Structure 1
Amino acid sequence: MNTETSGLAGKHAVVTGGGSGIGAATAEALVRAGARVTLMGRDAARLAAQRDALNALSLSGTAGDIACIAVDVTQEAAVVAAFEQAGPVDILINNAGQAQAAPFAQTDIALWQRMLDVNLTGVFLCTRAVLPGMLERGYGRIVNVASTAGQTGYAYVAAYCAAKHGVIGLTRALALEVATKGVTVNAVCPGYTETELLRASLDQITSKTSRSEEEARRILLRNNPQQRFVTPEEVANAALWLCMPGSAAITGQSISVSGGEVT
């Protein structure tokens, strides 16, 4: 393995929501950089398929470099058990998330709580599980996958925006607490990205407005200077950079990966 692809050799990374989309792309980027990776998520079959795909790359030459653990990040006891099973963690990618749209007047307490639980409380629980070990070892990288919805407002997703703004607030506060401890805490904030969440947004627009998918795509891209959606790999590259040795001075930041939509 050459130095270009071994910057994270010997490091153990956990990626939540690692079975698809941004999580899967980030896991692959970490593996290519030499890290040992544990995928976490609710869908055990999807995680296993992603693990097999990563193992098939044979990038590290070491069997068992990729593990997977099924867990619901909103459940405190389950998160504690999952991270005990995973062992010491050097890098945490808090990627698990969910988006659901509704006008504010139709946002009931169940939707509100679900958005907070998945997008914010999950980040809190997973971070709390790994932080003591990182502080003890004097090293850690925490990257929270937030959203441009944490940097600006979008109509009809008040609960999601509130949760993602919370993720950025948590990122900034924790970064200050651990700034002298060898641990960095950052967020990447994707704009609309080619994932299942984007597909759900497009489906919702087409079903509720009778517009075509092409028209729905134009609606979502109207404020994007590049006039295109972000790819999962582009988000993964930003997350990987924050984990590399050369980024040790970067902490408390919320990096927009959005084609210039948020600056």
Structure 2
Amino acid sequence: MTASFFHTNAGKRKLSFLFLFLGFSFVVFPSFCRADSSPILELSGGEMIFSQQAAFYDAMVGGLFPLEGLKSLADGPEPAFLHVFAAGNVINFNQPAVSPEQSVDGLTRESYTGGVGAVGLRIPTSWGFWEGDIGGAYFNVDQTFSPVSTVSGVYVQTEFLFDRMGPGALDLFGSYIGSINYLLGEGRYMMDAGELFRRKALFYAGPEIIGQGNSSYEVVQGGGVFSAEFPSLHTTFSLEAGVLNSSVWPGVGGYEGVSFYYSY
């Protein structure tokens, strides 16, 4: 990928798609595991596949560390937490070629391999928590008929969890990549969906909606999420699926995802 390619609309669409997924990959299920006053290790991994010829894989490791000198906004002894995480990602997707010299069978094929790291604060409140993180991303980019190149940029994210919203929890997440003026927003409302084996398996389900884009790429996704939490294993497994409409491919497509989240 040449330097001039980053100034085309196609290049912006590809970078936007990359950072969209990075933002999304950190909103997996940590919201269901309220932090206590001890350090917590986090591990997660999963995949997301779009019907419009895309496949993403990620793995994350991180931790929540209590800051005893910084109290929460809620009544009680729970402090705020320092949040630190790093993730590795492999992202592959195709899209209709912009020009014949950049295509194979009419498609441009791309692969991103790299990762992100960030640090921030999680502040418990009477209604849930607020979190803000800032960091950076570094990726190798392999595109059809172009040499491998690298991209980097600032990563900023924020999250609000409202766990007093009736029978379920409302989770709102947003991120911004300043270098490409890209915004991502997601809302998810999870409700209790039953239990088994004397609460050794807990189930949640609910809808989600995602919107993101900049001046050259827009997409809207809507679907549902089902998760199974196993407290004795400190692990939550999740499935999600839905439909999407984007400016990369015409018409309506679909997506599905499988992931896990472990905390201890």
Same fold by TM (over 0.5)? no
Structure of higher CA gyration radius: 2
Greater strand content: 2
Structure 1 length-normalised TM = 0.29
